[in-house]
Amino acid sequence: MLPNFKIGVGTIAWGNQLIWDYGIAYDEQSLYEVFSRSLQNGIRFFSTSEAFTDGDSERILGRFAAKYPEQAFISTKYVPRPWRIRRSDFLRAMNASLARLQLRRLDLYQIGQPTGLMGIPMLVECAAEALDTGMVKNIGLSGFKANEIEQFSDLLNRLGGAVSCVETEYNLLNREIETNGVLKICQDLHIPIIAQCPLAMGLLTGKYLNEPIVNGLRRKIMQRYPANGLNGLIRLMNLIGSEHEGRNSAQVALNWLIQKKVIPIPGIKNVEQLDQNRTVTEWDLKPEEVTRLDDYSAGLAVGTE
């Protein structure tokens, strides 16, 4: 079982120069300030992956966590690459993540959607073994379809384990989980959801309305989100936020997810972002405000047509 987290810290940008301008806009020292101040403010959940910048995100997080033993709750991900076909491949990957993170045991090990020859039954067996050996406290799933979540959960239950969470993209510009069955199966099975990209790579902060996205690769990736209606959505979020002591659109977007009983993990690169995001648990959108955001975003978000 996961602790009762309301928000966490995403680390996909930690060490990533190609997309997120690491070393230019921020560096390891600024990330360390994020980590230490997060713990000081009661934010203990940090989510990374072996795939983030070839493990550099894990290495950076591991260096920080070593200075605060057993204070952070750390999640990383196993990526079922096509050439990983044996249980030994799973174990080797898990041990490599533990080494980069400087840990003996993972609080949460999330398994990515299966590809190639390593299907769900084998991944379940690997997950169960990781739980049995004590190398992993909790097993989660990342990017799974609804039927895959149901199958994995059923098989793991038979082996005495349980799926502790499902991580998937969810934000006001991408609400696919509401219509593709993922949200429903998680609710039916009482599995918490962790929201990747809760701010749609920064679009929901509103900063890109007047400021161009300089990084070409980031701009290309962000084209998957709808542009029509974004200005109006940002205005609505800022208007709603003004009724809550002047909260901004990013804070409203994160609080919307919290009201949906979802755990957002916004990417945080500096203490200014942290100070803004950490306060979203201190207040609540009104039910009618959530409904207004639901209704407005339904006309433009992916997965609501």
Average pLDDT over residues 235-253: 97
Distances (CA, A) of 225 to 56, 122, 142, 252, 255: 27, 34, 20, 18, 20
Three-state secondary structure call for residue 24: coil
Residue type, 21: D
Distances (CA, A) of 253 to 41, 71, 145, 265: 21, 28, 24, 12
Cα distance from N-terminal residue to C-terminal residue, the chain: 34
Higher per-residue pLDDT: 145 or 300: 145
Average confidence score pLDDT of the chain: 94
Residues 6+ apart with CB under 8 A from 91: 126
Query: Which pLDDT does position 209 carry in this prediction?
Result: 76
Query: Which pLDDT does position 30 carry in this prediction?
Result: 97
Is there a contact between 69 and 101 (Cβ–Cβ < 8 Å)? Answer: no
Higher per-residue pLDDT: 201 or 36: 36
Average pLDDT over residues 284-298: 97
DSSP conformation letters of 161-198: --EEEEEEE-BTTB-GGGTSSHHHHHHHHT--EEEEST
Query: Which pLDDT does position 213 carry in this prediction?
Result: 61
Query: Which pLDDT does position 212 carry in this prediction?
Result: 62
Distance of CA 65 to the CA centre of its chain: 19
Is there a contact between 73 and 3 (Cβ–Cβ < 8 Å)? Answer: yes
Query: Which pLDDT does position 218 carry in this prediction?
Result: 67
Q: Which two structure tokens, joined as six digits, stand for 72?
A: 């952070």
The rounded distance, in Å, linking the Cα atoms of 21 and 48 is 18
User: What structural domains and CATH numbers belong to the chain?
Assistant: 9-297 (3.20.20.100)
Residue 305: which pLDDT band, with cuts at 50, 70 and 90? Answer: low
The rounded distance, in Å, linking the Cα atoms of 181 and 155 is 19
Widest Cα–Cα separation across the chain: 55
* Structure confidence by residue, pLDDT tens digits, 88-101: 999 999 999 999 99
Is there a contact between 296 and 37 (Cβ–Cβ < 8 Å)? Answer: no
Instruction: Residue 22: count other Cβ atoms within 10 Å of its Cβ.
Output: 22
Q: Return the percentage of the chain with pLDDT > 90, whole number.
A: 83
The rounded distance, in Å, linking the Cα atoms of 148 and 2 is 21
Query: Which pLDDT does position 144 carry in this prediction?
Result: 97
Residue 65: which pLDDT band, with cuts at 50, 70 and 90? Answer: very high
Q: What is the 3-state secondary structure (H, E, C) of 50-105?
A: CCHHHHHHHHHHHHHHHHCCCCCEEEEEECCCCCCCCHHHHHHHHHHHHHHHCCCC
For the sheet containing 262-264, what is the strand order? 9-10, 45-47, 73-78, 108-112, 139-142, 163-169, 193-196, 262-264
Bridge partners (DSSP) of residue 9 are 46
* Structure confidence by residue, pLDDT tens digits, 184-231: 999 999 999 999 999 998 899 988 777 666 556 767 777 788 878 899
Is residue 275 predicted with pLDDT exceeding 80?
Answer: yes
Is there a contact between 230 and 252 (Cβ–Cβ < 8 Å)? Answer: no
Average pLDDT over residues 80-89: 91
Q: Give pTM, 2 decimals.
A: 0.94
Average pLDDT over residues 53-78: 97
The rounded distance, in Å, linking the Cα atoms of 228 and 297 is 11
